[in-house]
């Protein structure tokens, strides 16, 4: 099956610093990638949709200047949390849609746990 890899799996940073999370599709091309945020024992909340070669589409209430998304190639999307604060601590999950696949499912990365001190 299609594999999506996220890195890092865990990151701890100081308040005010920026953190970059990578999402890679390892064995397929992903024209679209999605970034989700998950709070403890909660569901996944879509943050933004990332399309290769174009600007990301952010969900209502998500600050695009704080959560920078770049999808520079068909296999890589990055999420940068800028000037992180403790309230940004969360579990971030990416998923990818395989180009040309008609069955509709998304493939998920392992997630990245961000802790801001």
Binding site for another protein (CB under 8 A): 32, 34, 41-44, 46, 49, 57, 91, 93, 95, 97, 103-111
At closest approach, how far in Å is the CB of 45 from another protein? 8
Minimum distance of another protein from residue 101's CB (angstroms): 10
State in angstroms the smallest separation of the CB of 55 from another protein.
13
For residue 72, the SS3 value is strand
3-state secondary structure of 22: strand
Secondary structure class of 75 (helix, strand, coil): coil
- Look at residues 1, 2, 3, 21 and name the one whose alpha carbon lies nearest to residue 11: 21
Could you identify the residue written with the tokens 């040309």?
100
**Closer to another protein by Cβ: residue 43 or 87:** 43
């Amino acid at each position: 099956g299609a594999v999506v890899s996220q890195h890092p799996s865990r990151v701890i940073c100081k308040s005010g610093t920026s953190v970059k999370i990578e999402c890679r599709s390892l064995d397929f091309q992903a024209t679209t990638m999605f970034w989700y945020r998950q709070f403890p024992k909660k569901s996944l909340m879509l943050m933004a949709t990332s399309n290769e070669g174009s600007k990301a589409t952010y969900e209502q209430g998500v600050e695009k200047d704080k959560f920078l998304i770049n999808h520079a190639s068909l296999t890589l999307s990055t999420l940068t949390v800028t000037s992180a604060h403790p309230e940004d601590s969360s579990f971030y999950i990416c998923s990818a849609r395989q180009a040309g696949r008609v069955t509709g499912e998304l493939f998920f990365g392992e997630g990245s746990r961000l802790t801001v001190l």
